[in-house]
Amino acid sequence: MFRTTLGAFALIGGLLATSPARAAGEAIAIPNHPFSFDGVFGTYDRASAQRGFQVYKEVCANCHAMRLLSYRNLRELGLTDQQVAAIASQVQVQDGPNDEGQMFERPGRPSDRFRSPFPNQQAARAANNGAYPVDLSVIAKARNGGADYLYALLTGYADPPPGVTMGEGMNYNRYFPGHQIAMGNPLNPDQVEFADGTPGTVENMARDVATFLQWAAEPELEQRRAMGVKIIIFLTILGGLAYAVKRKVWADVH
């Protein structure tokens, strides 16, 4: 089950104002970007996460897989059964064998995992000059800084400063450890057109896809926080009752 699978991954500690990313003895300060899910009472912005899925589908999915997600999980973002079925049917997945023992392709179903853009790791490396595009299923938990790091990375592409020599096929990024990254700048202004009229700026797309990836990595966040608040309230009431009973029992003892 999706929640159970992702729940097995270790939880990152409290949200930090800045998070260090170290490379070659260098500490890179990751700016804190305000997200709706920050803080004890934070929740996911469903509209932002849905736009983030669109960014992933139209941009990131060309190279990056999300093998731990199924299309039906998108219902948790507020998409209807019809919308999920339509999204799944847009891809072709391999199935089989059929009665003749042959594998075949069919339209995707909501129960299918997100389709990988490459059949295997070797094909992925061959298509990306030897670099392997990482799976994004839990990338927000696998990178120090989480969503803040992802937002900073996606908005951190720039021309290299004077005197900086770039390796062949590498791109300068202010927030990537070492500042040289094989992945080219994936986001450009108006690259994605949002149905709700949200401007397709790089900052908006980066925020939305970071929100989607944080939800994918930690879909139980809201339920866990709600349960924590209930437990604290319960323990507070229980402690008060225990103290009142103690006072009553020992009231006549001097």
Task: State the fold for domain 2-69+113-219.
Answer: Cytochrome Bc1 Complex; Chain D, domain 2 (1.10.760)
Q: What are 111-134's pLDDT values in tens digits?
A: 999 999 998 999 999 988 888 999
Phi then psi dihedrals of residue 100, to 5 deg: -95, 5
Peptide bond into 97 cis (omega under 30): yes
Tell me, what's the pLDDT at 222? 87
Joined tokens for residue 207: 């925020």
Tell me, what's the pLDDT at 253? 75
Tell me, what's the pLDDT at 216? 97
Tell me, what's the pLDDT at 212? 98
Tell me, what's the pLDDT at 254? 64
Whole-structure pTM over 0.85, yes or no? no
Q: Which residues of the chain have pLDDT under 70?
A: 1-26, 254
**SS3 for 86-107, per residue?**
HHHHCCEEEECCCCCCCCEEEE
CA distance 81 to 76: 11
Tell me, what's the pLDDT at 95? 87
Tell me, what's the pLDDT at 26? 64
Average pLDDT, the chain: 88
CA distance 212 to 192: 15
Tell me, what's the pLDDT at 250? 87
